[in-house]
């Protein structure tokens, strides 16, 4: 029904009677980029947004739909102005104004009069329309040029505001031409040139808020131009002529003079308007620039060629990926991906020999939300809901005492939890799992087994669909068990006094409880196995047998995780800045790491010879064990792979090597310990008086010396919610208000590295610079502090409509602060990640100045004197290597070819040296 | 809120001979990068009466899983016929696809599977000892049964509590619609697969 070229000429869109719009890749016909489905009637008109961000279509289904070109998803569907329309026109050729601000529809109705609806880009508002035609509007076509008012001698000195011009054709055989002028100040300058009773412009808004035009009447109206309806309109490229065709078989040409329309702006001026309003759209820039810019030197040419070759090589993968997006979106080329998926699927083996598949990413996260709809739109089938209810309410609503599960178990096959009540006097074991959903249906099955009908098996199956898999030992049964275990731990915490250090006790009662929390759905044999495990654990080396006893491991690791979390939860009374201290305990255990498995056991007040009371510290690392004794009671302990340290009651801090050798004489702390932390060879001690010290034990130097937390905690009721010590000995404090500070030892300052309420993060949008793999690459202290999966920078564009310039600024500011934070945290991995991202953004958006500065710093002086201050590395990364990584990024934008060449040449010189 | 939702499961190569591998194409969406791998399993129910005959055909780890939509093909060998009770070899049974995260199962997709002899003669007079080489497996792909479980995605104590206090009916599964994909020979509904009177439980 209609075709339209995209603004950068690489795509062609066509719409058809099959209710779809197809986007063709004009560079590689007949490749289909996307098929836009959603209209429920013949699609009769198409128009591209002049900056290439959207495409709009109008159809017989009384809707106008705007689609995003980024992911080919529906942006909006406008139906209100078309409610009264009938499907009476052959075509519905809508048009987008060349400045991109307005979209004008064909046939719309307003108070039962035919109109051409004006839709604002900003919020897709439909407040204005062109009225006056007596029959439906079939065609709207904007002049491709943007005009400027002709400057007359002696007219006002105000800069003339650019405006657009639009021709409207209708079934009533007449044509009207409207000149739409932006800005209210031109109002009244022009006299309406039409006669009374002719089409006029109408708006419900007061005149001053007119955005589109000052004209209440069209520039010109030609009645009875044809014998039949107007079918199409086309402007000449210079914008001064119109060709109009009609159903009666004739074509008319209208010629305007510049006096009538105004001075057309040049293409450069036009694109400047686009850039100032929308910023550069990548889609347009990349291709338009590549075709026009002259490559100035052979290196660049070579690079570009290489890139093209590379693209050829990776083409398969890329087209696969794009096709995947298109395919899932449209259900079109899904077949193709599927054919290749198995071949392309990356399969590896894990250390323990298991298959591991790397899934093919078929879409970024924010490409629309059909997933939830997918599930929720389907009504819940009655019987299934019933089954589910039993399966879920079973464990939750029937907290049976220990005798009941036995009766259930009796009716069950031997795999079922016979052992529940028997193996242990599980008086307080709620044994939730034993009342599994299956119990009910399965218990029924013996009675129905005799009937030959297939209904019974089906019923039995029903339960199978819902119950959790028990056939898979270990993992699944953990599901409901984990909460129990943790709950139990909590109870412990409640019964005893609340302790900051929540640990798995090695005392006998805690041993009792761990197995109790075990899923009772396990067989008796299993349970016995666990008892064994526990006993082994008492001896302090269960981890060696980790593979044999997955259960004991899985019980412990979540629990000890919570323990670790609790450890760092300190509540600090703000005014006095007195941090809580750990109270003395008789014994506790602390897991340092799970891989390699390492944990510390502390037993205080072990009676020794001569009535002296000693404390024992035991450390177990991958089965190897050492122990030592201290004279004072141990309050808290911490460890890393390199060191183990303990803080004692007498305000002393003792540090041991990984093998248990004492590294230092006891350090006397200025005040009692609050929290102790170890990472690598760094030991961090936070005292109750809110001072923080970090030492590097191996190099025997102080990193942070009794630094007060006063500056970051002062003034409000904030508490430290998490403490982190990076690999480089940088302490990071997460506060309860969502801010995180790290201490910069070289500047002796607390630096803000993360703020949950940071509005910059909310507004930043650097999605175009993100690589699909980036999400997984970025992990480190900064990511930990800021929350791993922060989706910031991706959704911003969708959430807020911010002017592009503002968004650019916020994005830059955000990226820069990320780079700086990563640098301060000395997280080289993250620094590289953010720096590359930042550079990519600078390249995409064309910020040469800052890009040049980065390159200059990374390159350093080529001919350096001995007195050069330049450091060749940054956080352990070689700056020039980083620059080499940046170069391909810079080379992507031909505008930076000089910068590219400069850097390339200087790097070459350096290499040759 | 579950971090992973399964968007679609397409049954590939269906129907197929009994000995040919199961092949499912699974697409899922993840709204937050996952720290660890997902574990997927295919479980073949050998007999409706007892779990004893369940066979885990295969289990794979899937990862890394960044935020976004993903897709993979899960292929598993056919069940071991010697572990299937002879009386249950022919007829309707179930195959389950489950996914666990941190050992917690959060989704289970079940399909009815009909094993029958395509040869009408054999169908009329089935051999006493089932002839697996002649059997054809037909997965009722149009009628998946989906159950979802609330799990703890974060290893966070607070969340755990919240989950424990949650209405048990929340977050249970909804039937998954499985769009038949053209060219794969998925019949909308296989006639004769289910006896009339069992339709009420679907």
Look at residue B121 in the predicted model and tell me its pLDDT. Answer: 87
- The rounded distance, in Å, linking the Cα atoms of A755 and A741 is 9
CA angle A290, A293, A296 (to 5 degrees): 115
Phi, psi of A139, rounded to the nearest 5 degrees: -135, 135
Residues of A whose CB is below 8 A from B66: 361, 772-773, 775-776
B76, B145, B158, B200, best to mutate vs chain A, most A CBs in 10 Å:
B145
- The rounded distance, in Å, linking the Cα atoms of A135 and A15 is 24
Q: Which residue on chain B is closest to A350 by alpha carbon? A: B61
Does B153 contact chain A (CB < 8 Å)? no
The size of chain B, in residues, is 202
Q: Which of B71, B108, B110 has its CB closest to that of A362?
A: B71
Look at residue A57 in the predicted model and tell me its pLDDT. Answer: 92
* SS3 call for A434: helix
Residues of A whose CB is below 8 A from B116: none
Domains of chain A: 2-150+161-181+215-278 (2.130.10.10), 577-707 (2.130.10.10), 759-910 (no CATH)
Per-residue confidence at B22, pLDDT binned at 50, 70, 90?
Answer: very high
Contact A757, A806 (CB under 8 A): no
Q: Which of B56, B145, B163 has its CB closest to that of A465?
A: B145
- The rounded distance, in Å, linking the Cα atoms of A858 and A861 is 9
Q: Which of A328, A392, A791 has its CB closest to that of B27?
A: A328
The DSSP bridge partners found for residue A711 are none
Please name the residues between 64 and 123 in chain A that touch chain B, using a CB distance below 8 Å.
none
* SS3 call for A325: helix
Does A324 contact chain B (CB < 8 Å)? yes
Residues of B whose CB is below 8 A from A388: 147, 169, 172-173
Across the range B27-34, mean pLDDT stands at 87
CB contact under 8 A, A482 and B104: yes
H helix runs in A131-203, sequence order = none
Residue B141 CA to its chain's centroid (Å): 10
- B123 to A250, A315, B120, B126: CA distances (angstroms): 71, 50, 5, 5
pTM given for the model? 0.41
B28, B157, B180, B198, best to mutate vs chain A, most A CBs in 10 Å:
B157
- The correct answer on CATH 2.60.40.1490 for the domain covering B4-147 is yes
Both tokens of residue A87? 């499907």
Contact A38, A61 (CB under 8 A): no
Half-sphere exposure of B1 (CA within 13 A, CB side): 6
Collect the ranges in chain A with pLDDT lower than 50.
154-158, 181-215, 281-291, 313-332, 366-457, 468-575, 776, 788-799
| Burial of residue A312, with CB atoms counted within 10 A of its CB: 0-12 exposed, 13-18 middle, 19 or more buried | exposed
Q: Which of B188, B10, B155 is CA-nearest to residue A788?
A: B155
Q: Where are the domains of chain B?
A: 4-147
Look at residue B178 in the predicted model and tell me its pLDDT. Answer: 38
Residues of A whose CB is below 8 A from B156: 565
Look at residue A401 in the predicted model and tell me its pLDDT. Answer: 38
Q: In sequence order, which residues have a C-beta less than 8 Å from that of residue A384 and are 6 or more positions away?
A: A462, A465, A466, B145, B173, B175
Per-residue confidence at B24, pLDDT binned at 50, 70, 90?
Answer: very high
Residue whose token pair is 């019923």: A459
- B93 to A179, A633, A757, A774, B19: CA distances (angstroms): 71, 63, 53, 43, 16
Phi, psi of A252, rounded to the nearest 5 degrees: -115, 145
Q: Which of A361, A364, A482 has its CB closest to that of B152?
A: A482
The DSSP bridge partners found for residue A254 are A242
- The rounded distance, in Å, linking the Cα atoms of A577 and A29 is 71
Does B7 contact chain A (CB < 8 Å)? yes
Both tokens of residue A810? 């916020």
Both tokens of residue A173? 């055989």
* SS3 call for A147: strand
Look at residue A390 in the predicted model and tell me its pLDDT. Answer: 34
Taking the CA atoms of residue A762, residue A763, residue A768 and residue A773 in that order, the dihedral angle to the nearest 10 degrees is -10
DSSP A765: B
Both tokens of residue A741? 């500070």
Q: How many CB atoms lie within 10 A of CB A208?
A: 8
Look at residue A613 in the predicted model and tell me its pLDDT. Answer: 77
Does A459 contact chain B (CB < 8 Å)? yes
B27, B44, B115, B150, best to mutate vs chain A, most A CBs in 10 Å:
B27
Residue B1 CA to its chain's centroid (Å): 23
Buried b (16+ CB within 10 A) or exposed e, A222-251: eeebbeebbbbbebbeebbebebbbeeeee
Residues of A whose CB is below 8 A from B48: 456-458, 460-461, 464
- The rounded distance, in Å, linking the Cα atoms of A616 and A603 is 5
B2, B62, B168, best to mutate vs chain A, most A CBs in 10 Å:
B168
Does A398 contact chain B (CB < 8 Å)? no
The size of chain A, in residues, is 913
Q: Which of A142, A166, A254 is CA-nearest to residue A218?
A: A166
Radius of gyration (Cα) for chain B, nearest Å?
Answer: 18
Contact A213, A154 (CB under 8 A): no
Does B193 contact chain A (CB < 8 Å)? no
Per-residue confidence at B168, pLDDT binned at 50, 70, 90?
Answer: very low
Q: Which residue on chain A is closest to B68 by alpha carbon? A: A365
pLDDT tens figures, B94-141: 899 999 998 889 999 999 899 888 888 888 888 888 888 888 999 988
Q: Which of A141, A86, A93, A78 is CA-nearest to residue A114?
A: A86
Does B155 contact chain A (CB < 8 Å)? yes
Look at residue A868 in the predicted model and tell me its pLDDT. Answer: 67
A375, A481, A521, A554, best to mutate vs chain B, most B CBs in 10 Å:
A375
CB contact under 8 A, B43 and A469: yes
> H/E element holding A485?
helix A478-495
Look at residue B193 in the predicted model and tell me its pLDDT. Answer: 34
Look at residue A785 in the predicted model and tell me its pLDDT. Answer: 73
Residues of B whose CB is below 8 A from A436: none
Q: In sequence order, which residues have a C-beta less than 8 Å from that of residue A891 and are 6 or more positions away?
A: A300, A303, A304, A307, A897, A900
Q: Which of A454, A468, A487 has its CB closest to that of B198?
A: A454
Please name the residues between 68 and 107 in chain B that touch chain A, using a CB distance below 8 Å.
68-75, 91-94, 96, 98, 100, 102-105
Half-sphere exposure of A799 (CA within 13 A, CB side): 14
The DSSP bridge partners found for residue A422 are none
Look at residue A423 in the predicted model and tell me its pLDDT. Answer: 39
pLDDT tens figures, B65-88: 888 888 899 989 999 888 888 888
To the nearest whole Å, the CA of A625 is away from the closest chain B CA by 29
Contact A691, A711 (CB under 8 A): no
Residues of A whose CB is below 8 A from B105: 468-469, 476, 479
Residue whose token pair is 């005492």: A401
Q: ipTM beyond 0.95?
A: no
Q: Which of A146, A98, A99, A97 is CA-nearest to residue A118?
A: A97
Does A790 contact chain B (CB < 8 Å)? no
């Amino acid at each position: 029904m209609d075709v339209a070229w995209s603004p950068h000429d690489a795509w062609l869109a066509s719409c058809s009677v099959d209710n779809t719009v197809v986007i063709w890749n004009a560079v590689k016909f007949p490749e289909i980029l996307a098929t836009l489905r959603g209209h429920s009637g013949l699609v009769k008109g198409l128009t591209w947004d002049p900056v290439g961000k959207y495409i709009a279509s109008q159809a017989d289904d009384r809707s106008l739909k705007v689609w995003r070109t980024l992911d080919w998803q529906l942006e909006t569907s406008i139906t209100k102005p078309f409610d009264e329309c009938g499907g009476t026109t052959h075509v519905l050729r809508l048009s987008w104004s060349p400045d991109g601000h307005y979209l004008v529809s064909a046939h719309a109705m307003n108070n039962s009069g035919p109109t051409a609806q004006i839709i604002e880009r900003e919020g897709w508002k439909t407040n204005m329309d062109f009225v006056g035609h007596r029959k439906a509007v079939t065609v709207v076509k904007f002049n491709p040029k943007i005009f400027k008012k002709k400057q007359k001698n002696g007219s006002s000195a105000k800069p003339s505001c650019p405006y657009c011009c639009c021709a409207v054709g209708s079934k009533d055989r007449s044509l009207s031409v409207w000149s739409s002028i932006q800005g209210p100040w031109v109002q009244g300058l022009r006299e309406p040139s039409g006669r009374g009773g002719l089409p006029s412009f109408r708006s419900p808004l007061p005149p001053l808020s007119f955005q589109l035009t000052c004209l209440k009447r069209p520039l010109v109206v030609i009645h009875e131009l044809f014998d039949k309806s107007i079918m199409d309109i086309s402007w000449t490229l210079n914008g001064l002529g119109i060709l109009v065709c009609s159903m009666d078989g004739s074509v008319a040409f209208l010629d305007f003079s510049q006096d009538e329309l105004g001075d057309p702006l040049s293409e450069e001026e036009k694109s400047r308007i686009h850039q100032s309003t929308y910023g550069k759209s990548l889609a347009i820039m990349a291709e338009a620039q590549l075709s026009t810019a002259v490559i100035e030197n052979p290196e660049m040419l070579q690079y570009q060629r290489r890139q093209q070759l590379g693209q050829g090589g990776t083409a398969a993968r890329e087209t696969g990926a794009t096709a995947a997006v298109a395919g899932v979106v449209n259900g079109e080329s899904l077949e193709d991906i599927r054919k290749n998926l198995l071949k392309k699927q990356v399969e590896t083996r894990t250390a323990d020999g298991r298959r591991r598949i790397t899934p093919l990413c078929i879409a970024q996260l924010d490409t629309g939300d059909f997933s939830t709809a997918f599930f929720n739109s389907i009504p819940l089938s009655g019987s299934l809901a019933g089954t589910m209810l039993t399966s879920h309410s079973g464990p939750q609503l029937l907290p049976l005492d220990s005798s009941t599960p036995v009766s259930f178990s009796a009716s069950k096959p031997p795999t079922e939890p016979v052992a529940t009540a028997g193996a242990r006097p599980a008086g307080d074991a709620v044994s939730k799992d034993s009342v599994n959903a299956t119990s009910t249906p399965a218990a029924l099955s013996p009675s129905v087994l005799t009937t030959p009908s297939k209904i019974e098996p089906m019923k039995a199956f029903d339960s199978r669909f819902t119950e959790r898999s028990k056939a898979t030992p270990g993992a699944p049964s953990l599901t409901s068990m984990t909460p129990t275990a943790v709950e139990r731990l909590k109870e412990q915490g409640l019964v005893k006094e609340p302790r900051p250090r929540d640990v798995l006790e090695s005392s006998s009662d805690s041993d009792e409880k761990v197995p109790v929390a075990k899923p009772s759905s396990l067989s008796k044999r299993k349970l016995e196995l666990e008892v064994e495990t526990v006993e082994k654990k008492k001896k302090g080396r269960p981890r060696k047998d980790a593979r044999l006893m997955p259960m004991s491991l899985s019980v412990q690791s979540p629990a000890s995780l919570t323990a670790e979390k609790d450890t760092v939860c300190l509540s600090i009374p703000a005014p006095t800045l007195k941090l809580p201290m750990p109270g003395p305990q008789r014994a506790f255990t602390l897991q340092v790491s799970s891989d390699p498995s390492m944990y510390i056991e502390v037993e205080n007040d072990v009676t020794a010879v001569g009535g002296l009371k000693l404390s024992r510290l035991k450390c177990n690392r991958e089965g190897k064990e050492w122990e030592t004794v201290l004279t004072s009671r141990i309050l808290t302990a911490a460890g890393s792979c390199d060191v183990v340290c303990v803080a004692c009651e007498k305000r002393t801090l003792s540090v041991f090597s990984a093998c248990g050798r004492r590294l230092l004489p006891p350090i006397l702390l200025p005040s009692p310990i609050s929290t102790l932390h170890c990472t690598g060879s760094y030991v961090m001690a936070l005292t109750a008086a809110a001072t923080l010290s970090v030492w590097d034990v191996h190099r025997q130097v102080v990193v942070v010396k009794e630094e007060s937390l006063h500056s970051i905690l002062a003034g409000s009721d904030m508490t430290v919610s998490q403490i982190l010590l990076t690999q480089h000995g940088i302490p990071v404090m997460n506060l309860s208000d969502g801010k995180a500070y790290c201490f910069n030892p070289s500047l002796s300052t607390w630096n803000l590295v993360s703020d949950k309420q940071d509005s910059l993060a909310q507004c930043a949008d650097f999605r175009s610079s993100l690589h699909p793999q980036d999400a997984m690459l970025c992990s480190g202290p900064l990511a930990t502090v800021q929350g791993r999966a922060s989706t910031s920078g991706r959704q911003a564009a969708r959430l807020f409509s911010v002017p592009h310039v503002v968004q650019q600024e916020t994005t830059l500011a955000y990226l820069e602060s990320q780079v700086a934070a990563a640098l301060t945290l000395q997280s080289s991995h993250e620094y590289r990640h953010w720096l590359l991202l930042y550079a990519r953004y600078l390249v995409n958006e064309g910020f040469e100045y800052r890009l040049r500065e980065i390159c200059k710093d990374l390159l350093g002086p080529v001919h350096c004197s001995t007195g050069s201050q330049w450091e060749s590395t940054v956080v352990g990364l070689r700056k020039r290597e980083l620059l080499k990584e940046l170069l391909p990024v810079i080379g992507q934008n031909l505008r930076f070819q000089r910068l590219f060449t400069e850097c390339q040449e200087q790097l070459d010189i350096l290499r040759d040296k | 809120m579950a971090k992973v939702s399964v968007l679609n499961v397409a049954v590939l190569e269906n129907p197929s001979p009994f000995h040919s591998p199961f092949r499912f194409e699974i697409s899922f969406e993840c709204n937050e990068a996952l720290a660890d791998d997902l574990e997927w399993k295919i479980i073949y129910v050998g007999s409706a009466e007892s779990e004893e005959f369940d066979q885990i055909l295969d289990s794979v780890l899937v990862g890394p899983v960044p935020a976004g939509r993903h897709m993979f093909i899960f292929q598993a060998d056919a069940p071991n016929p010697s572990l299937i009770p002879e009386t249950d070899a022919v007829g309707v049974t179930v195959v389950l696809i489950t996914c666990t995260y941190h050992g917690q199962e959060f989704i289970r997709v079940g399909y009815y599977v009909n094993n029958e002899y395509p040869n009408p003669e054999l169908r009329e007079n089935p051999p006493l000892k089932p002839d697996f080489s002649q059997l054809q497996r037909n997965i009722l792909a149009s009628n998946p049964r989906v159950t979802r479980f609330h799990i703890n995605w974060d290893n966070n104590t607070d969340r755990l509590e919240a989950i424990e206090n949650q209405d048990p009916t929340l977050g249970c599964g909804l039937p998954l619609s499985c769009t038949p994909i053209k060219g794969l020979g998925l019949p909308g509904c296989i006639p004769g697969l289910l006896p009339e009177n069992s339709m009420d439980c679907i």
